[in-house]
Amino acid sequence: MMRTIIGRQKEQEMLSEYEHSPKSELLVVFGRRRVGKTFLIKEYFDNHFFFYISGAENATKKMQLKNFNLALKKHSKYPYPAVEDWQDAFEQLIHFIENSKNEGRKVIFFDELPWFDTMKSGFLSAFEYFWNTFASARNDIFLIVCGSATSWIVNKIIKNRGGLHNRVTAQIHLNPFTLKETEEFLTYKNIVFSRYQIAECYMIMGGIPYYLEQLKKGKSLSQNIDNLFFNKDSILTDEYRKMYASLFKKFDKHVKIIEILGKKRSGMSREEMVAQSKIPDGGGLTGVLSDLEMCGFINVYNSYNKKSKNRIYQLVDFYSLFYLTFIKNNLQTNPNYWSNLTESSTKLSWCGYSFELVCLMHIEQIRRKLGISGVVNYVNSWRSEDKTCQIDLLIDRNDHVINVCEIKYSKNEYSIAKDDDCELQAKLAKFRSETATKKALHLTMLTTFGVSKNQYYGNIQSEITLDDLFAL
């Protein structure tokens, strides 16, 4: 196995387990575009597969079958004739397996599986037949399927109600890098950023390996961002539309919801989205929201002490938020736009909200810092009845404590002023009054560089800094 995989320890352990399983396994690997699914599988197996094929985007059934035939001849060294349907194609794959002199584990990798499933192609039924009647009955097949179209993978494979119902033996939902993994990746590339700069980079790109791969050593973070987003023909400027188009066949509604949520960063209820988007409140909207949640573009939070109909939907994709804030309506042609951008209200607002998202994406690190990993706890948000007061992160614990988290982004230590303290105490009082909770409310400050120990410092119960979010 090659040793250039950054992080992904849990996923590598799973691959090792199923690679050495005494029975055939069907593993589904899914996650958003550019998150590194193909890289993980190829790198782990050092590109040594019994059979490997990747679907081609927007290709016809005829072209997909031709590619399959070429791959089969390459791996088998046998002149299999071209076929016109998937049933025959899989029969040829069965013939290859049955006549192989390889007595060891046979790793078969179908990359970008959704792209094979063209209209009326019959691919999925042929795939089901191959697994159910042949591969699953053996003990030497490790079949791995992968795809960025997460909703297709989940609905057609994992939650399949037909021939693949309950036949998937394992799944890996590959998430973006954490801050720590991002730091390790940049170190591997010999890129020197401070942790504050790594956090800003994360606020722009998230932990998406493909985006991070584009960074160049020897350049500052600002120079890199200008090169990748604001220069003519920059590689990531047009990523926005390509990303959604590649994931969803009819993506206009998905983009509409993303852009509505981008305008109200604290999140919206379903009713608010219906009112602003004019999308009917029915199955169509449910499907769009489900797609976006499964692909990691939005998070859905239960509002504390309220029913599911009061859920808050929030845009959490860093790249989309950055694009909507600084690129979509930017008419400037300055190639040094980001380097020269002043601390405008737009940038300060984006910094504050994006840092909140960084914290929300590192809940496990926050739990460990608070010492409550072993305590049953639930993450919520809360809005007051009059919608004038909001708490973006509540950790409701079974040991009769609620951590009320206040998140502040700052270039230096954060100092709690008198007005800030009054506002925080009023927020706690309103939360207790409206929820009637009997639990102790622990005010927890999440900041970049800590909280100054002034006269108001004693009113907080715990604090978490940016360094704590870099913990494993």
pLDDT, one tens digit per residue, over 396-422 is 999 999 999 999 999 999 999 999 999
CA angle at residue 332 from 328 to 337, to 5 degrees? 95
Instruction: Report the 10 Å Cβ neighbour count for 255.
Output: 18
> Global pTM?
0.92
With 0-12 CB in 10 A as exposed, 13-18 as middle and 19+ as buried, what is 283? Answer: exposed
pLDDT higher than threshold 90 for residue 155: no
pLDDT higher than threshold 90 for residue 227: yes
pLDDT higher than threshold 60 for residue 6: yes
- pLDDT tens across 28-42, in order? 999 888 999 999 999
Q: What is the dihedral of CA 431, 432, 433, 437, to 10 degrees?
A: 120
pLDDT category of residue 1 using cuts at 50, 70 and 90: very low
- pLDDT tens across 97-117, in order? 999 998 899 999 999 999 999
At the top level of CATH, which class does the domain 370-469 belong to?
Answer: alpha beta
Mean pLDDT of the chain: 91
Place of tokens 């005494």: 22
- List the single range of 3-12, 185-194, 429-438, 447-456 with lowest mean pLDDT: 3-12
Where do the structural domains in the chain lie, given as residue ranges? 9-173, 177-361, 370-469
CA distance 66 to 197: 47
- List the single range of 32-41, 200-209, 251-260, 330-339 with lowest mean pLDDT: 330-339
The pLDDT of 453-463, averaged and rounded, is 95
Rg of the chain over all Cα atoms, to the nearest angstrom: 25
Three-state DSSP state, 325: helix
The pLDDT of 423-434, averaged and rounded, is 94
Contact yes or no for 259/307 (Cβ under 8 A): no
pLDDT higher than threshold 90 for residue 149: no
pLDDT higher than threshold 90 for residue 395: yes
Tell me how far CA of residue 120 lies from CA of 126, 132, 134, 336, 356, in angstroms.
12, 21, 23, 49, 45
CATH number of 9-173: 3.40.50.300
pLDDT category of residue 306 using cuts at 50, 70 and 90: low
CA distance 22 to 15: 14
- List the single range of 69-83, 295-309, 437-451 with lowest mean pLDDT: 295-309
In this chain, the answer to whether the domains covering 9-173 and 370-469 adopt an identical fold is no
Residue 319 token pair: 């790249």
